[in-house]
Amino acid sequence: MCQLPVPRRASQNIRQRVQPRSGRRSRGRQVSAEPARVISVMNPWAWRIVAGLQAAEQRTWKPSWRGVLWIHASKDSDLSAPAELWPPAGQLVNSAIIGHVTLTDVEGRPGAWRWILTNPYQLTKPVTGVRGHPGLWLIDLPPRLSTGGNTARSTRPEGRRA
């Protein structure tokens, strides 16, 4: 048997930007220029992070990335947390992106890493109905939530130059 050569694609077609397909998922909504990095955290810990009451998060793995990190309140809650750690009535939201922080540093040892979180910001209107994922994951945020790039923000006051 003689095998015919398989035609190959031209190499310039490999890196073409693919347009989003129309259908149920796209719905013609606008997205931010750069996908945002998100971490899912159980309540009440997610609420405490964006409220500025918890400045660190314990994880068993170390991310190499630093910058703006969006906080997703997972659908499950840590029911073993003491009652004084829970938010006031009406402030608990699950399966939603509830705010962002800046991941500035990671310290610790393999298996016990402490993520240092600064600049907490709680959204007044959470993005509900978002399904979480393990680890750091990416999401296209609506333009109203764009932070102007997914890099760490400056700590200098506006209008001052170094």
DSSP string of the chain?
--PPPPP---GGGTTPPPPPPPSTTTTT----SSPEEEEEEEETHHHHHHTTS--EEEESS--S--EEEEEEEEEEE-TTS-GGGSPPTT----SEEEEEEEEEEEEEETTEEEEEEEEEEEEEEEEESPPP-SSEEEE---GGG--SSSSPPP-SPTT---
Domain assignment present for 16:
no
Structure confidence at residue 6 (pLDDT): 55
Domain assignment present for 23:
no
What is the rounded average pLDDT for all residues in the chain? 78
Domain assignment present for 102:
yes
Per-residue pLDDT at 160 exceeds 80 = no
Structure confidence at residue 31 (pLDDT): 47
Domain assignment present for 27:
no
Provide the residue range defining the domain that includes 124. 36-142
Kindly report, residue by residue over 26-76, the tens digit of the pLDDT: 455 554 456 889 999 999 999 999 999 999 999 999 999 899 999 999 999
Domain assignment present for 8:
no
Domain assignment present for 6:
no
Structure confidence at residue 157 (pLDDT): 42
Confidence of residue 89 (pLDDT cuts 50, 70, 90): confident
Structure confidence at residue 43 (pLDDT): 92
Two tokens at 94?
Answer: 């699950």
Considering its fold, how many domains does the chain have in total? 1
Domain assignment present for 14:
no
CATH of the domain at 100: 2.30.130.30
